[in-house]
Structure 1
Amino acid sequence: MRIKSIMLAGLAALAIPGVAMAQHNNQVESVEAISDAEIERAETILRDFVEDYRTDPMALDASFGIKLGQQWWSVEVKHKEVASPRGRLTDHSFGPHDVTLARGEPASPTWYFQLASLDVLEKIASGEVNAGTAAMQSFGSDRVGVETRDMDGFKSTSGDEGDMYLALSHFFTKGKPQITRFGRDNSLMTHGAQATALHMMKGFRIMHFSIGPQETANDDPRMEFGQMPNLFVVTSGKATLYSDDGPVEISKGMSIFIPQFVKHRIVNDGDEPLEGILVLYGDNSDFAFGTSYPSYLEDLNDFHRTYEFRKERSASK
């Protein structure tokens, strides 16, 4: 089974109180087996997610697995959307979708989520941490709260990874609107900063970041630049940004757009956290093997030149 490293570069393992963590590498240890009572509890939580997902306007067609210990579940989603007779989106109807949960591996090989423990699932269900944050990895070798993997005989496409992101953001989050708690108490340490995933999509991912006093983000030379452009929006604090153009002071009320492969190291030499929103454009897996972000944009724009804004929708779609 192939582990997928689809999360943003430099994001480390999930640090959740109560989950067994290796002392030196801060990685989540996955359980090998779970009891019958734990299986029943996990299934109750997953069925609550399924029930909520039936009326989620963001649900899309998908077929994926969920694994906890050696226990499998399969999820099937059939999106339903009914177009307005007047052709206006305000009259569209989204759902109820056909969403099923069954014990056992998916009938056909596909991608799946590997949950480290029931404790991780409980914390996702409570809203203490979200699934997107739990799935963040710096490297493919990281062991995190939620792994994204391919079953034997299946190789995810870029589109499949897009489906994974949407499931991370919406299947594991209940309610309309969906609420995510962010801040230093609902985050993980990565790149020398605390980070919380706010929303994940293929084209962009939105995070909250907090760099504490006397802390440095991207101090590791392997992580001081990446394949994706970054946009930092600073909402509080101040720090010094060291980039290709030298040092510059950044502070509240500033946005900083950093193109792909431009070095950026942030040193908080003040006495309060530097905090704000980080937007990551694109996906590492699309750019790690030869495709650049500008080339990706050219292909995306070519697609949109032929995309029809108006689409007929029936009750079956």
Structure 2
Amino acid sequence: MRAKTLLLASLAMLAVPASAYAQNNQRDAVNTISADEEARADAILREFAADYRNDPMAIDMIFGIKLGGAWWTVSVERKETPSPRGRLVDHAFGPHSVTLTRGMPVTPTWYFEIADLDVLELIASGKVNAGTASMQSFGSDKVGVETRDMPGFSSTSGDEADLYLALSHFFTKGKPEVTRFGRDTSLETHGAQATALHTMKGFRILYFSIGPEEVVNDDPRLEFGQMPNLFVVTSGRGTLYSDDGPIALEKGMSVFVAQFVKHRLANTGTEPLEGVLVLYGDNSDFGFGTSYPSYLQDLNQFHRTYPFAKPKPKEE
């Protein structure tokens, strides 16, 4: 899997007991698990697979899951039944065909490597979601949920789009899906605590909280991004240092930072500076050769020809 940047910087701490999850998110995946651990992991994954059968966001895909030396294969065939009237609100989504089988995928594909059973237990309990556990800044980061390619397979940007949807929806339950966020349930990332709220290829949404006197993107290597960022401030005060100088941040304002525009944030108040961050696109797509505006032009051309109004099904 190509190196990707899912957040502002590398992760450091999850605010749960250290026995449940290492404080330093730079952790190696276990090589083996016991028979009891494998049975528990299998039970958790089967619960996720059963719930995914009724998930309106499910799409066709095949991927692997690895924990220790144990493998599972997930195969999804989406079912969408159109309404005779052709109205989307009358469509039925599911039940999909979702199979979870023991063993490595027969045909090489991408897969999720879960560091250990504790990580999977935390995801199953809702204390941390899979998107948050996978956040990394550099390919060398070793995190709770890693994405990898099997030998003989090389992911494309489209494959990454599939895995982002699986990351956000396969490892969750319910309809709608709930994500809890706050300073006590987030991972720390270079001065900010963050929770991944939803991840898609086109945009990723997260909650952020910057404590008093803390600074985000203080490392010069992190001041610039390959795609736009939208900061929506919901509480606290701070300063965003940009190309045009400092901008005072306060509740009830948003700041759109275009690609390759400097953005370093500092909390200048006595309370946490908090809000929502929207990342447009995926850094790995815009690191070389293609800029975000070029991508938008190509995407807009696609929309000029895509038939969103699908032909109505023939009445029997």
- TM-score computed with the length of structure 1 as normaliser: 0.94
Instruction: Look up the match of 1:18.
Output: 19
CA contact (8 A) 1:230 1:281 kept: yes
State the 1:313 CA deviation: 8.6
* Pair 1:6-2:9 in alignment: no
Instruction: Look up the match of 2:27.
Output: 28
State the 1:9 CA deviation: 4.8
SS across alignment from 2:227: coil
Instruction: Look up the match of 1:297.
Output: 296
State the 1:191 CA deviation: 2.8
Instruction: Look up the match of 2:118.
Output: 119
SS across alignment from 2:172: coil
SS across alignment from 1:164: helix
1:284-316: CA deviation from partner (whole Å, max 9, x where unpaired): 1110122110011111111111100123598xx
* Pair 1:259-2:255 in alignment: no
1:156-193: CA deviation from partner (whole Å, max 9, x where unpaired): 11111000110011000000010000011121111310
Tell me the distance in 2 between the aligned counterparts of 1:279 and 1:262: 15
Tell me the distance in 1 between the aligned counterparts of 2:235 and 2:218: 21
State the 1:124 CA deviation: 0.2
Tell me the distance in 1 between the aligned counterparts of 2:312 and 2:31: 45
Tell me the distance in 1 between the aligned counterparts of 2:195 and 2:3: 18
Tell me the distance in 2 between the aligned counterparts of 1:311 and 1:68: 42
* Pair 1:48-2:47 in alignment: yes
The amino acid of 2:131's aligned partner reads G
Structure 1 residues 231-270: aligned runs within 5 Å: 231-270=230-269
The amino acid of 1:208's aligned partner reads Y
Structure 2 runs not aligned, ≥5 long = none
Structure 1 residues 76-225: aligned runs within 5 Å: 76-225=75-224
Tell me the distance in 1 between the aligned counterparts of 2:33 and 2:311: 46
Instruction: Look up the match of 1:64.
Output: 63
Count of matched residue pairs:
310
The amino acid of 2:113's aligned partner reads Q
CA contact (8 A) 1:14 1:133 kept: no
State the 1:218 CA deviation: 0.6
Tell me the distance in 1 between the aligned counterparts of 2:121 and 2:140: 24
Tell me the distance in 1 between the aligned counterparts of 2:199 and 2:312: 26
CA contact (8 A) 1:9 1:139 kept: no
State the 1:255 CA deviation: 0.3
The alignment-based identity, stated in percent, is: 69
The amino acid of 1:18's aligned partner reads S
Tell me the distance in 2 between the aligned counterparts of 1:237 and 1:230: 19
CA contact (8 A) 1:239 1:269 kept: yes
CA contact (8 A) 1:13 1:28 kept: no
Tell me the distance in 2 between the aligned counterparts of 1:14 and 1:123: 16
State the 1:90 CA deviation: 1.6
CA contact (8 A) 1:9 1:223 kept: no
Tell me the distance in 1 between the aligned counterparts of 2:206 and 2:9: 11
Tell me the distance in 1 between the aligned counterparts of 2:114 and 2:244: 42
1:190-239: CA deviation from partner (whole Å, max 9, x where unpaired): 13101100000000000000000010011011101110100000000000
SS across alignment from 2:11: coil
CA contact (8 A) 2:21 2:119 kept: no
Tell me the distance in 2 between the aligned counterparts of 1:130 and 1:4: 22
Structure 1 runs not aligned, ≥5 long = none
The amino acid of 1:76's aligned partner reads S
Tell me the distance in 1 between the aligned counterparts of 2:3 and 2:124: 24
CA contact (8 A) 2:232 2:275 kept: yes
- TM-score computed with the length of structure 2 as normaliser: 0.95
CA contact (8 A) 1:131 1:146 kept: yes
Change (3 A) 1:27 1:189: same
SS across alignment from 2:169: helix
CA contact (8 A) 2:12 2:189 kept: no
SS across alignment from 1:141: coil
The amino acid of 2:231's aligned partner reads F
RMSD between aligned alpha carbons? 1.5
